[in-house]
Homo-oligomer: A and B are copies of this chain.
């Protein structure tokens, strides 16, 4: 095996990265790897309690894939140990939250999904209960002797809780140490993680040194914002784009991100060549709507192929319009002949969007009614349904109906 030059590798590996600690150590490790013709061991820890992967997860997975493509060794560590134990400080938690079988099953699901991004032939998967569960009390004391309380309380979330007088249970200090033990066990050269994992990743360096190992390089990747454009992508925040979602849903959700995120998504979750990113940036600024459509197409292609992406695009054009409307909404089929014009006030009422024509008139006057995103100003508007449908009729912020002509399927 021969590795690309260190500079070539660094160019690939630095893309989109928030921080590398220590920066110079990565080059040294890559240099040594070339000299010895030995791949680096790159670690990524994964949480088996949430096996549904979304684009946010792919930021680190894609980085791991880049290491694989450069010839390095990827190890996914399923954190089943803590998953098995759960949080014993909870009330009725004398039993583990997850059984060994459940964590294994979740681990398999995680692996299946992760290998949509990773090269399955070059991916090892390990369960950390294998070594952590074998540790005894004296080993834990040895493990925890290398870290101080003050260091732990420097971790952002601990610091915040401690200063706010919220309880931090002692066992919570042991979890980061357990994760660090994983690095010692596999003797990782590099560990990947989100910026929120910075503390844990750096802690592992200390533990490796205490075990006489060459400490890992910590590579922190940004946390991808979700479709709301502000908060970290997360299933529980309902702003996530799952990588197993249907092409249509995926396409629609990418189309719903704010324009300001187009470039960030292109950089972090697509394989658009780094050299082409400046063009994407320009395009996103000059023509965000089409740039976003291109991004959506690219992302759907990555997970479902070109054909499905094209179909999703068409579906989106037909059914979803500008203005952040939901992908699924009630359909209303007015009883109208070809060429017949239907009064909008009646149409809204019949579609269940208003209670009465007077309410409809009021809404139009308030500028709260739109057709395919264009605000209606005329309270006496008539619509030729056979010609205009399908279209989305919107009243207020939350009421939508997709108007379909009976002659359409």
Contacts and interface: CB of A to CB of B under 8 A. Distances in A.
B138 A136 contact: no
Interface in A145-183: 145-150, 152-153, 158, 162, 165, 167-171, 173-174, 177-178
Given A137-B135, A149-B162, A170-B148, A142 B177 contact: no
A133 B136 contact: yes
A70 interface: no
Interface in A118-149: 132-149
In this complex, which of A150, A169, A170 has the most chain B Cβ atoms within 10 angstroms of its Cβ? A170
A137 B133 contact: yes
In this complex, which of A89, A138, A148, A167 has the most chain B Cβ atoms within 10 angstroms of its Cβ? A138
Contact of A167 (B84, B89, B133, B148): B148
A379 to B, nearest CB: 64
Given A136-B136, A136-B137, A137-B136, A170 B142 contact: no
- How many copies the complex holds: the figure is 2
**Interface size of A as a range:** 35 or more
A140 B150 CA distance: 21
A79 to B, nearest CB: 13
A152 B150 CA distance: 13
**A interface, over-half SS:** helix
A87 interface: yes
B141 A88 contact: yes
Contact of A144 (B135, B147, B150, B174): B174
A209 B81 CA distance: 26
A149 B173 contact: yes
B133 A145 contact: no
A141 B150 CA distance: 20
A85 interface: yes
Given A143-B171, A146-B169, 14 more contacts: A85-B138, A88-B141, A135-B136, A144-B169, A144-B170, A144-B171, A145-B169, A147-B169, A148-B168, A148-B170, A149-B149, A149-B169, A150-B165, A173-B173
The 4 closest A-B pairs by CB, nearest first: A144-B170, A88-B145, A135-B137, A144-B171
